[in-house]
Every structure is written in structure tokens, then in C-alpha cells.
């Protein structure tokens, strides 16, 4: 029995070690290095590290630019998650009610997910062009006046959010369609016999069963919104006047433009803690709202 248990353990570790090695090299090692550098002042020319304790964190917490990026990230995450998940849920419900269009439309919505953020941003640059873009052209046809989408302080963040929603929505739709497929028809028919209308059937039958899938999609959408970089870099470059400078983009500027490696590493650590806190809050809410059976 001991020999068999040892053999099973060896086989198990042999199967797990390649994955652990990849994660260790590409995830855990860089994360540990970022934590180490966050307590250092790094000279990029001499490649010299000087231990400065919590000075980087203290400077961050008293930096108006950092708190501005926190506020921009919060607004961006709220818009992309609420609008993106809400629209994906509405489209998934509509497709679930029309099985003939489900296969074709599922492919259509997945296409933006398959392209890179850079390609998506380049496409939307042409749509947002204030003089030759299709969006302002269509608004002119109906008598409206299109704004300077990417150059306006009022519209820049909304424009980037629209691009992000379009890019990521297909992912949410696919998972929500899978969740809707798991709703028993017997429950829907029983609610229909009891006289429940479409809204009540969705609210009291479909939504409780769909809640685990909806929770998963929401958590992933929040994480994606915090990590958004490519579309911001190409569409606005963090402008105008920092209106689209999120935490990730601010980190990029300090690390690769200003070469403040230690300061940027401290931002990375705080971003990780912020994402952990946001996820913990969602799980706390899920304990009361999500039904697993």
C-alpha cells in the first residue's frame, strides 16, 4: 500500500510540475521581484538598487496623480462591467429564445474576442474620427453633431469603454448562453401555467439558476477592466489631460517612460491588492445573491 501511494504521488507530481514550473517562471517569480523592487529606489543607468522601505508606497498614497488614476479606473470599470454584462445578458436571453439565429450570432459575437486589443483599437480609431468617421457621419444624417470622441475630456473615457465592451462582450455572451441552456424547461413551463409573465419568469426562475454563471462573468469582467491597456494606449495614450489614465496605464508610464521602476512596482503591488479587495467584495455579495443549487 505504501509503495502504491508513493507511486501515485510521484505520478501526480510529475503531471503537475510542468505547470508549476511555467507559473513559477512567468507569474510567481515576476510577482516576487515586483514586491522586492517596490521597496527599492532603482537607478536604471547604473542598475543599482537602494533600499528605501515604504517610501514608494508613501509617495503613492500622497500623489494626486495616483488617486486620479484610481478614480478613472473605478469609473472605467463601473461603465464597462455594468453596461457590458447587462448588454451581454440581454443579447444572450434574446439568442436563447431564438435557436435558429443562435449559432450564427454566437460566431459573430465571438469574432471581436479573437482579435487583439491593438487591432480593435485601430478599427475604432477610424470609426471615432471626428471628420471622416462613420459615427459622426451617421449622427449628421439624423441632424446631430458628433463630438470629438477621443480628443474630448467629456467623451474620451466613454469612447474607450465602448471599444472595450465591444471587444469583450462575446466572451460573456458565450458563458451566459451556456448557463441559460442549463435552465430546465419544466420550471419555465410550470411558471407559465401559474400565470407568470416573461419578466416574472426571468426574475424568479431563470435568473436564480443563472446567477453562478452571471457571477463568474462579472468577476472576470472586473478583472479585465482593471487590466485594460492596449486600447487605451492606442486610442488616447492616457489623454486628454489624464482623463483615460487608468492604474495600469499610469504604471506603464512610470515604469517604461519615466523609468521609475521601484515606484511602478509599488503601484503593481497596490493594484494587486485592490483587485483582491474588489474580488473579495464580489464574493461577499455572492454569498447572499448567488444560488448554487
Instruction: List, for residues 28-86, the tens digit of each pLDDT value.
Output: 998 999 999 999 988 877 577 888 989 999 999 999 999 999 999 999 999 999 999 99
Please report how many Cα atoms fall inside a 13 Å half-sphere around the Cα of residue 7, on the Cβ side.
Answer: 4
* Paired residues of 43 in beta bridges: 48
At residue 78, the pLDDT reads 94
CA distance 238 to 63: 17
Spatial CB neighbours of 244, under 8 Å, sequence gap ≥ 6: 72, 76, 156, 157, 160, 232, 235, 236, 238
| Domain, as residue range, for 205 | 63-289
At residue 131, the pLDDT reads 83
At residue 268, the pLDDT reads 93
Q: Between 293 and 100, where is the model more confident?
A: 100
At residue 64, the pLDDT reads 92
Q: Between 206 and 272, where is the model more confident?
A: 272
Q: Is residue 57 part of a domain?
A: no
At residue 32, the pLDDT reads 92
Supply the pTM of this predicted model.
0.89
At residue 124, the pLDDT reads 92
At residue 288, the pLDDT reads 72
Is the Cβ–Cβ distance between 56 and 42 less than 8 Å? Answer: no
Mean pLDDT of 248-260: 92
Q: Is residue 118 part of a domain?
A: yes
Number of domains comprising the chain:
1
- C-alpha distances (whole Å) from 4 to each of 7, 237, 251 are 5, 59, 51
pLDDT at 290 over 60: yes
Q: What is the largest CA-CA distance in the chain?
A: 81
Which residue, 204, 209, 203, is CA-closest to 178?
209
Q: Is residue 51 part of a domain?
A: no
CATH code at position 262: 1.10.3720.10
How many CB atoms are located within 10 Å of the residue 218 CB? 18
CA distance 156 to 73: 13
At residue 209, the pLDDT reads 84
Which contacts (CB < 8 Å, 24+ apart) does range 75-80 have? 75/157, 76/157, 76/160, 76/161, 76/164, 76/225, 76/228, 76/244, 76/246, 77/222, 77/225, 77/226, 79/157, 79/158, 79/161, 80/161, 80/164, 80/165, 80/168, 80/221, 80/224, 80/225, 80/228
Instruction: List, for residues 72-126, the tens digit of each pLDDT value.
Output: 999 999 999 999 999 999 999 888 888 777 777 777 888 888 888 888 999 999 8
Q: Is residue 193 part of a domain?
A: yes
Instruction: List, for residues 125-169, the tens digit of each pLDDT value.
Output: 989 988 888 888 888 888 778 889 998 899 999 999 999 999 999
Confidence of residue 231 (pLDDT cuts 50, 70, 90): very high
pLDDT at 287 over 80: no
pLDDT at 1 over 60: no
Please report how many Cα atoms fall inside a 13 Å half-sphere around the Cα of residue 262, on the Cβ side.
Answer: 22
Q: Is residue 87 part of a domain?
A: yes
Q: Is residue 261 part of a domain?
A: yes
Which residue, 270, 236, 230, is CA-closest to 252?
230
Give first-to-last CA distance, the chain, whole Å: 38
Q: Is residue 52 part of a domain?
A: no
- The share of the chain scoring above pLDDT 90, in percent, equals 44
* Paired residues of 48 in beta bridges: 43
pLDDT at 264 over 90: yes
Amino acid at each position: 500500500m505504501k509503495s502504491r501511494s508513493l507511486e501515485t504521488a510521484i505520478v501526480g507530481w510529475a503531471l503537475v510540475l510542468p505547470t508549476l514550473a511555467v507559473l513559477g517562471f512567468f507569474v510567481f517569480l515576476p510577482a516576487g521581484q515586483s514586491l522586492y523592487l517596490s521597496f527599492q529606489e532603482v537607478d536604471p543607468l547604473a542598475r543599482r538598487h537602494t533600499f528605501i522601505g515604504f517610501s514608494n508606497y508613501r509617495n503613492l498614497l500622497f500623489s494626486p496623480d495616483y488617486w486620479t488614476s484610481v478614480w478613472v479606473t473605478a469609473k472605467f470599470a463601473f461603465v464597462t462591467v455594468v453596461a457590458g454584462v447587462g448588454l451581454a445578458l440581454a443579447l444572450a436571453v434574446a439568442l436563447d429564445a431564438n435557436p435558429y439565429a443562435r449559432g450564427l450570432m454566437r460566431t459573430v459575437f465571438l469574432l471581436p474576442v479573437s482579435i487583439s486589443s491593438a487591432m480593435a483599437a485601430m478599427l475604432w480609431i477610424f470609426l471615432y474620427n471626428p471628420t471622416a468617421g462613420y459615427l459622426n457621419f451617421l449622427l449628421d444624417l439624423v441632424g446631430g453633431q458628433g463630438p470629438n470622441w477621443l480628443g474630448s475630456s467629456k467623451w474620451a473615457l466613454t469612447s474607450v469603454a465602448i471599444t472595450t465592451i465591444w471587444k469583450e462582450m462575446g466572451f460573456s455572451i458565450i458563458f451566459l448562453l451556456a448557463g441559460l441552456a442549463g435552465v430546465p424547461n419544466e420550471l419555465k413551463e410550470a411558471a407559465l401555467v401559474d400565470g407568470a409573465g416573461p419578466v416574472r419568469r426571468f426574475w424568479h426562475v431563470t435568473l436564480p439558476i443563472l446567477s453562478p454563471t452571471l457571477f463568474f462573468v462579472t468577476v472576470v469582467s472586473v478583472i479585465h477592466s482593471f487590466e485594460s491597456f492596449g486600447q487605451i494606449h492606442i486610442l488616447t495614450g492616457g489623454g486628454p489631460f489624464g482623463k483615460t489614465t487608468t492604474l495600469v496605464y499610469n504604471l506603464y508610464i512610470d515604469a517604461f517612460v519615466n523609468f521609475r521602476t521601484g515606484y511602478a512596482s509599488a503601484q503593481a503591488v497596490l493594484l494587486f491588492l485592490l483587485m483582491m479587495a474588489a474580488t473579495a467584495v464580489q464574493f461577499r455579495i455572492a454569498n447572499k445573491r448567488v444560488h448554487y443549487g
